[in-house]
Amino acid sequence: MIDIKALREDPQRFIHGAKAKNIDVDIPALIAIDQERRSLNKNREDLRAEQKRISKEIGPKIGQLKGKLKNASADEQESINQELQTLEATPASLKKEIQAIDDTMGSIDEEWQTLLLKIPQPPDSDVPVGQSADENVELRTWAPDGYDVSKSFADNKGFEPKDHLALVKELELADFERGVKMSGTRHYVLTGNGMLLQQAVLRFAFDLITQKYDFSPMSVPVILREECMVGTGFFPSGREQAYHIEESNRGAGHDLFLAGTGEVGLMGMFADEIIDANKLPIKMATVSTCFRREAGAAGRDTAGLYRIHQFEKVEQVVICKADEKESRIWHQTMMGIVEDLLQQLGLPYRLLQCCTADLGSKNADMIDIECWMPGRGQLDSDGKPEGAWGETHSASRLYDYQCRRLNMRYRDEDGNTVFAHSLNNTVLASPRILIPLLEMHQQQNGTIRVPECLQSYMNGMAVIESQTRPST
């Protein structure tokens, strides 16, 4: 959530920011409602002050008159009661006016809050302006020695590659038909060595982030209240992507949602808390099952393991002090961790600076990391894919956007409560990462070479081959 004070001071910054992100939100309407809300609130406070003043002024006299009533004659009682009614009329009138403002404020507050939650965080000034992901800017690439991504896989390796769909079928690593039978489209079953490979790469990633880079290992719920989804900025704009559990209809009192990333649970842990500043930065990592409806997704990305509804993800989150320089340093650090991981896996990758239109609502800056996938891309004259980059990681810098929504604060050196900054990054998501792993490490005989860093997690297995057909 944005800082309403910042919006009041510089509304054009937020109007331009929303336009740059291609997000349609009526900021002038919010400003008008905010002004009305502030005016009503001032009137209410003025009336309450007047109510307090009058009550203090007439209170003793009312008390005296009520004392006289006990021993007064009938005629005297009538006169005293009339005087009491006159004295009490003004406070009663003020009370009605205050109640009327409260009623108006109730409806205005709801509209004000709804609009406020929709306003995106303005992009950082050094983020390139663009209208779509096609205008993202390549920062750098990396490939293992001897591999040139500007050339075809065949030119690099000396044989035509198979895509991951063919590989998982031939090596019996996944069963899409039975996954669809059980759960519908874009579901799958990892089988045999396919399951072992997924667990190996997940465990390797989790060990790397927790042991080498000292992130605290956490296990958090993936079934979460709506407040967590709103607080982390996934609602309201991404609501259609979440699976909804209608628990309130069964007496639980609140509905629940399946998280699309472990980030939601990691951040939700500290909602409405004042964190000890000495404990910052908080560095956390979790591995969890994630769920996304992928509403609106279509095309080749929906085939195979690239865009599915349920997956496993190692996520890293940093909560740090409200300092832009520190946030930027952590952003670079988190990307460096992923680069270390991908280099150990031997996977070519590139870093993309996301343009304004590809940032989403909550991010001030975001860097995507894409891996080279030989089985993707345009078809050549022989009807074979030419290879293409596919997104596997995303590192986001959010400043205080999430912490403000979650009411997550710390005390600075002067004792003031300050909203913290947050960052998040995908350490690894599977089974999508299996696509470049299988395609890049396939061998001419149809087997898959297991990267050295994964072999210990696969009981020493160095090569994946068919479990029913010997390799040739």
Active-site positions read 292, 307, 391, 394, 432
H/E run at residue 175: strand 174-175
Q: Which alpha helices (DSSP H) does 125-271 contain, by range?
A: 153-157, 164-170, 176-183, 193-207, 226-231, 263-268
Residue 220 tokens, joined:
């958090």
Number of H helices, E strands in the chain: 14, 18
Contacts 24+ apart (CB under 8 A), 454-457: 454/197, 454/200, 454/201, 454/204, 454/345, 457/199, 457/200, 457/201, 457/203, 457/204
The Cα–Cα gap between 288 and 222 comes to 7
Burial class (CB in 10 A: 0-12, 13-18, 19+), 235: buried
**Tokens 């001032």 belong to residue:** 42
Taking residue 149's Cβ as centre, other Cβ atoms within 10 Å add up to 17
Please answer whether residues 363 and 396 qualify as being in contact, where contact means their C-beta atoms are separated by less than 8 angstroms.
Answer: yes
The Cα–Cα gap between 150 and 137 comes to 17
**Tokens 């990691």 belong to residue:** 266
Q: What is the 3-state secondary structure (H, E, C) of 451-466?
A: CHHHHHHHCCCCEECC
The Cα–Cα gap between 329 and 50 comes to 53
All residues at 6 or more sequence positions from 25 whose CB lies less than 8 Å from its CB, including other chains: 18, 115, 118, 119, 120
DSSP for residue 356: G
Taking residue 172's Cβ as centre, other Cβ atoms within 10 Å add up to 16
Query: Radius of gyration (Cα) for the chain, nearest Å?
Result: 30
Residue 169 tokens, joined:
């079928």
